Amino acid sequence: MIIDRDAALGAMIPHVTERDIVVAVYQSCFDWLQLNPRDLNYVAVGAMGQASSHGLGLALANPDRRVIVLDGDGSLLMNLGSLVTIANSGVSNLYHFLAANRVYEVNGAHPLPGADRVDFVGFARSAGYAGSQGFRELELFTDALPYILAAPGPQFVSMEVRAGKPYPRDYHYIHSAKARKTFRNALNQS
């Protein structure tokens, strides 16, 4: 089985608190912004592969908040070294969720190199994440979420997904000064 990405993201919404920072990139970003618009959504665009690194910086700077990274498998492949850096940073507030659809979706759905063999859960485990697991069924993922988000991080979760509902790709907003100002203001207010 495979999970619809928007169903997986929708399952996460009740577990994301008003203090949590959510770092989302590319297609997960567009989906998340439509499903759960909020001021502490950090959009990291134009930096393919940098979601995990941006998430780490935010986690180190905000140890009293959970930082939830919504990454894509194509993006993570561009920055696999971040897994080792995160695992050895000492952060316990970072939760790294990977939407694994085995393609570079936003760039035309081109297949990932080694798509049928790459083991992201194994990468995170070998890097030293506190927890690393994968899901192919929405019900199992939904049942595990409260435990994953309550465990000390860094935690890594790979979700085998397919595209869900086609949400608009609002590049104007995610590249805007308004998006950054909204996030910065929300971060500084709390």
Q: Using one digit for the tens of pLDDT, what is the confidence trace for 8-26?
A: 999 999 999 999 999 988 7
Q: Which of 29-33, 77-81, 136-140, 164-168 has the lowest mean pLDDT?
A: 164-168
Looking at residue 170, its pLDDT comes to 78
Instruction: Identify the pLDDT of residue 106.
Output: 60
End-to-end CA distance of the chain: 40
Instruction: Sketch out the chain's domains with CATH numbers.
Output: 3-181 (3.40.50.970)
pTM of the complete model beyond 0.85: yes
Residue 139: the pLDDT is: 97
pLDDT confidence tier of residue 41, bands split at 50, 70 and 90: very high
Which DSSP symbol is given to 159?
Answer: E
How confident is the prediction for the chain on average, in pLDDT?
89
- φ/ψ of 115, rounded to 5, equals -50, -35
Please, are residues 167 and 30 in contact by the beta-carbon 8 Å criterion? yes
Residues 169-179 pLDDT 10s: 777 788 888 98
Cα 31 to chain centroid distance, Å, stands at 12
Residues 64 and 44: their CA atoms lie apart, in Å, by 21
Token pair, residue 127, equals 């890097």
- Provide the token pair at 40: 């502490």
Give the CA dihedral 176, 29, 47, 180, nearest 10 degrees: 30
